[in-house]
Amino acid sequence: MIILGLSLEAYVINLIIGIPVFFILRWTFRKWIKKEKIRKIVNWISTIIATPIIYIGLNTFGFLYLILIRQSGILIKKRDMNCPMISLKAIF
C-alpha cells in the first residue's frame, strides 16, 4: 500500500525513529525553553522535521556502506591481477 509516494513500511520506520527523537528533543528543550506551550510547539515541529532527515540519512549511509563493501571486494580481486584501474563492468 502506497500513501503519498511512500510505502507503509516507511511510515512505520519513521514512527519508530520519531518516538525516541521526540523524547530526546523534549528533554533537551525542557532545559532551554521555559514556557510550556512554546516548548510543546517547538518540540513537535522539530520532531516532524528531524525524523525524515534521520530516515534519509540512515538509508543513505546504508546504501553507501553496501556499495563500498561491494567495491572493496572488487578492489581486492583487481589488486591480485596487478591492475590499478577499476572498470564499470567489474562493479556492475
Every domain of the chain and the residues it spans? 2-91
In this model, does residue 64 exceed pLDDT 90? no
Cα torsion for 55, 57, 62, 66, to the nearest 10°?
150
Q: What is the pTM of this model?
A: 0.65
**pLDDT given for residue 92 in this prediction:** 47
Rounded Cα–Cα distance for residues 31 and 64 (Å): 36
Distance CA 73, CA 17 (A): 32
Residues above pLDDT 70, as percent of the chain: 70
Query: Would you state the pLDDT for residue 69?
Result: 73
